[in-house]
Amino acid sequence: MKSFEVKVTAIVKLPTYRIKVKAGHRRKDIILTLWRMSVSYLANDEVYEIELQEPFKQLACTEYSIGRSGLAEFDFSAAPPVNIGDRIQIDAYQLGERARDDGNWSGASDHA
């Protein structure tokens, strides 16, 4: 894993989703609004699993994004607390490295 700085290149409010839910005899609409943040970083055609650091990590809808050719995107449940052009720190993993870091990736158990 390595940490490096990325530049926020876009923040876009996605179209609102309306989900109709039937709970018993009542109908309820759930309205969901998502935001997408794009970031860029210097990369030599490497593919990374990109993970946000706090406070962005708590607000993100996904745990990580696949970064290709120096670009990655993240969806948020609220507008991310950052502006276009700002630089933020991220964690970048080689493909499969996150799974090994999570422990027991080989299927082995710690219990005897």
> Which pLDDT belongs to residue 53?
92
Residues (pLDDT < 50) of the chain are 104-112
In this predicted structure, what is the pLDDT of residue 106? Answer: 38
Which amino acid is present at 96? G
Concatenated DSSP letters for the chain? -EEEEEEEEEEEEPPPEEEEEEETTEEEEEEE--EEEEEE---SS--EEEEEPTTHHHHBSSS-EEEBTTEEEEEESS--S--TT-EEEEEEEETTHHHHHTS-TTS--S--
The pLDDT, as a whole number, for residue 102 is 54
**What are the pLDDT digits (tens) for 18-38?**
888 777 777 778 888 999 999
pLDDT at 109 (0 to 100): 34
pLDDT at position 64, please?
85
